[in-house]
Structure 1
Amino acid sequence: MVEPSLNSKMGVAETIIFFVFILQGVWCGYWSISLPEKIEALSGSCVTINCTFDINSEYDNDLTDSAAGMWYKYDNLVFDSRNPSYNFKGKIIGKLKSKDCTTIFYDVTSNHRGQFFFRIEGNGGLKWIYKQKSALIDVIDSPRNPTLQMFKDAMEVQVQEEVLEGSSMCLRCSTKTLCSSSPPTLTWSSTDRLHLNDSSRLQLDQQNQTEIISDLNFTATHLQHGVTFICTITYQLQQRNITAQNNITLRVQCKNKSV
């Protein structure tokens, strides 16, 4: 078997390096977009499409503050940032010059249900519709029930609803917000009308969606045995308020015997 010469080895290496640079030129600074695959929207509320994009680097100078963003539902133009009242009322809340196309649509109806594609237009030859990826909006008539979890002591998840008297407890109610500009409220109540102290906060989940969380912290006593704790989510819409609930019933054991 003939050993390849040093020159031939160098030729192979140079060829590999050449193709690496070619691939970098193809994938770096090219047309790409990041969108959530599916978004749930509440009828009568608003919906946010988290969106970032990239363009071919040769058009970087054409992406200025005067750039416009458009949304197509399937093949039909439904939103144009140059005319926010056009068809679907909304606003691009991201900065297009920074390649942030995050958009909010107001007054959601069943007409918002469908597949959405983004288009960018700037100066010169910057005109591109991102057909390779879309966001699917699904419109629901009522919100999902909030999620309830029970933790004890050092935030250990408690699967069963039976706890030991004296345990430090946390009941957590959470839900994804379907309208970032007008998030819902979470409120606690109980069947025995106990005095409840809760704390609420907003945070981003792993899908970069805004989530509202309300924690109810207390020390378990026999007074809470058999009490049902109820978490209610309320959306304030233009015409009405709409709610959904979830609940959990506590069983408290005395340290020496069952209650």
Structure 2
Amino acid sequence: FETESEQMITSIKFTSPANAGEWSAKMPESVVGLSGSCVLIPCTFSYPENEKTYTEFTGIWYKEYSAVVYNKDTSKIAGSFKGRTSLIGDLRQNDCSLKINSLSSSDAGSFMFRTEMKYFKYSYGEKVSIIGKGKRNLFNKKEVTSGKPVTATCAVSHSCPSDLPKVTWSHHGKQSSPSQPQNHGQWKLTSYNLTFTPSREDHNKRLSCTAEFKGKTVTGYKTLKVKCKSRMTLWN
């Protein structure tokens, strides 16, 4: 079963490969982020060393070749990105990875990374793709038996390990901790389990899980089909 979220997601597309000794950057073809959450943009870069080893770098991210998305001098960052971006990579290790918080549909556009060192300055231009919608999945058996424990799983896709969604269930039961996130393209897939014992009163009722991201919610549900245990009565 699948339900479609009303949340917007931003897909940022990159195309440059990184080759040692050349001016190049390596990034995934697309990075998908949930609106209101954060997104991580993996990035590595290279440059012609010319038998020189540099230890001091300045890394700058731009949008549309003009608006500063990230700069260590925060006074230069565009107002719409102030307080929302951080360079999580170590430039000395050729890692230019960027984190953007509180993602919104307006963040879509053309991005580029620029590096500055003692003798050189170079910009890497990249492109951005489209805006789409996300999904939540709720799995459990097609038919359950009254009085017999069953486990339902709610699989939630998100884009930021530091910003896990909060999940609530419509049915009482034992909830397990989120499973270890798994790669799902550029998304992270986290599973939440609910173990409960259905009764005959649960037949044809909706079992739902609701995921909350930064105050925004999306719900997945499935209708329970409860099979009752047969009983035998002896008459004297």
Structure 1 residues 75-120: Cα deviation after superposition (integer angstroms, max 9, x where no partner): 2242232223511221111222222222122344443121222222
Q: Which runs of 5+ in 2 are unaligned?
A: 1-17, 232-236
Computed over aligned residues only, the root mean square deviation of the Cα atoms, in angstroms, reads: 3.2
Partner of 2:151: 170
How many angstroms apart in 1 are the aligned matches of 2:62 and 2:130?
Answer: 12
Partner of 1:129: 123
2:21 maps to 1:47? no
How many angstroms apart in 2 are the aligned matches of 1:136 and 1:38?
Answer: 9
**Shift in Å at residue 226 of structure 1?**
2.9
Shift in alpha-carbon separation, 1:110–1:209, aligned structure 2, 3 A: closer
Partner of 1:34: 27
- The structure where helix makes up a greater share of residues is 1
Partner of 1:8: none
Shift in alpha-carbon separation, 1:36–1:170, aligned structure 2, 3 A: farther
Structure 1 residues 184-209: Cα deviation after superposition (integer angstroms, max 9, x where no partner): 2111123xxx3443332351323243
**Shift in Å at residue 62 of structure 1?**
4.7
Answer with 1 or 2: which has the greater Rg: 1
How many angstroms apart in 1 are the aligned matches of 2:139 and 2:54?
Answer: 47
Scaled by the length of structure 2, what TM-score is found? Answer: 0.70
Partner of 1:15: none
Matches within 5 A, 1:133-144: 133-136=126-129, 138=131, 144=134
**Shift in Å at residue 164 of structure 1?**
4.5
How many angstroms apart in 1 are the aligned matches of 2:109 and 2:227?
Answer: 51
Partner of 1:11: none
**Shift in Å at residue 214 of structure 1?**
0.8
Shift in alpha-carbon separation, 1:163–1:51, aligned structure 2, 3 A: same
Structure 1 residues 21-69: Cα deviation after superposition (integer angstroms, max 9, x where no partner): xxxxx95554231135242341xx34323222131352685543x3222
Shift in alpha-carbon separation, 1:145–1:55, aligned structure 2, 3 A: closer
Partner of 1:210: 188
Q: Which has the higher contact order (CA 8 A, sep 6+)?
A: 2
Partner of 2:15: none
Out of 76, 91, 106, which is 1:96 matched to? 91
SS in 1 for 2:185: coil
Q: Which residue type is aligned with residue 233 of structure 1?
A: A
Out of 214, 224, 227, which is 1:250 matched to? 224
Q: Which residue type is aligned with residue 163 of structure 1?
A: V
Q: In 2, are the aligned partners of 1:68 and 1:80 still within 8 Å (CA)?
A: no
Q: In 2, are the aligned partners of 1:117 and 1:135 still within 8 Å (CA)?
A: no
Q: In 1, are the aligned partners of 2:43 and 2:98 still within 8 Å (CA)?
A: no
How many angstroms apart in 1 are the aligned matches of 2:173 and 2:65?
Answer: 55
Shift in alpha-carbon separation, 1:27–1:103, aligned structure 2, 3 A: closer
How many angstroms apart in 2 are the aligned matches of 1:32 and 1:104?
Answer: 17
Q: Which runs of 5+ in 1 are unaligned?
A: 1-25, 151-157
Shift in alpha-carbon separation, 1:149–1:82, aligned structure 2, 3 A: same
2:213 maps to 1:235? yes
2:58 maps to 1:68? yes
Shift in alpha-carbon separation, 1:53–1:73, aligned structure 2, 3 A: same
How many angstroms apart in 2 are the aligned matches of 1:172 and 1:225?
Answer: 18
How many angstroms apart in 2 are the aligned matches of 1:206 and 1:134?
Answer: 22
